[in-house]
Copies of this chain bind each other. A is one copy, B any other.
Amino acid sequence: MLEKKIADKIHEIRKNKGLTLAQLGDATGLSKGLLSRIENNQVSPPIATLSKIARGLEVPIGIFFEEDETDREGYAVTYKNDRKQVIRRGTKTGFTYYSLTSLKSRHFIEPFIIRYPVIEKEPNKLFDHPGEEFLLVLKGEMDLVYGKKKIRLKAGDAIHFDPSTPHRGQNAGKEESECLVIVIDEDTLKAKS
């Protein structure tokens, strides 16, 4: 039941922040009695009221509507200096891959570091593949060519995208750029089931 969860989330966040009903009442302009009944799921507050509560708790209101997060060796460390360079099929475009995992058992996350050298002329090849991809820029500046768009990303920026659209990463600065890439392969997903 949706509102049950909301009630619990409000209660939990309030408690985590060490607030009393009276304090939250002050912060929101709502009576503590009402807050009590909301937390106990006795009333279904209007959006306006929930919005006040979110502001009072200093959380985005969307939190209340997010789906729940579930809650031998089993691991593989890759130390910075032990990164293993990988040759991936069909990547003759100058950049370098380093795998960040050595897990042999079936897994979904495929983590890489990619280094893009400075380029003179823009390549034209684009790649597409089913699955899901995530990229975090670690160093320098780069462009993600994505379909007809070109998205400029700097160190610390991230992008999460559907790789079935033709795309390509490339350096966009005067120094080498580096990024972390996570790929999930559709086939691996299917093999799971």
Chain A residues at the B interface, C-beta cutoff of 8 Å: 2-3, 6, 9, 12-13, 16, 43-51, 59-71, 73-81, 84, 87-90, 92, 100-103, 107-109, 111, 127, 129-134, 136, 138, 146-147, 149, 151, 153-162, 164-165, 180, 182, 184-187, 189-190, 192-193
Q: Can you name 14 A-B pairs with beta carbons within 8 Å? A: A2-B51, A45-B47, A47-B47, A62-B66, A65-B65, A70-B130, A70-B186, A74-B161, A74-B164, A75-B159, A80-B157, A102-B160, A180-B180, A189-B192
Pick the residue among B59, B107, B155 that contacts A87 (CB under 8 A). Answer: B59
Copies of this chain, complex-wide, total: 2
- Using A46-B46, A51-B3, A193-B193 as known contacts, say yes or no to A80 and B159 having CB atoms under 8 A apart: no
Complex Cα distance, B75 from A187, in Å, reads 21
Pick the residue among B62, B69, B81, B131 that contacts A185 (CB under 8 A). Answer: B69
Q: Contacts of A63 on B, CB cut-off 8 Å?
A: 87
Is A62's CB under 8 angstroms from B65's CB?
yes
Those 6 A-B pairs whose CB atoms lie nearest each other, nearest first = A80-B156, A193-B193, A75-B161, A44-B46, A101-B160, A74-B162
- Using A108-B132, A134-B109, A193-B193 as known contacts, say yes or no to A3 and B47 having CB atoms under 8 A apart: yes
Pick the most buried of A78, A79, A89, A180: most chain B CB atoms within 10 A of its CB: A89
Is A155's CB under 8 angstroms from B80's CB?
yes
Is B80's CB under 8 angstroms from A162's CB?
no
Is B9's CB under 8 angstroms from A134's CB?
no
Complex Cα distance, B127 from A75, in Å, reads 15
Give, as a whole number of angstroms, the nearest-CB distance from A127 to chain B. 8
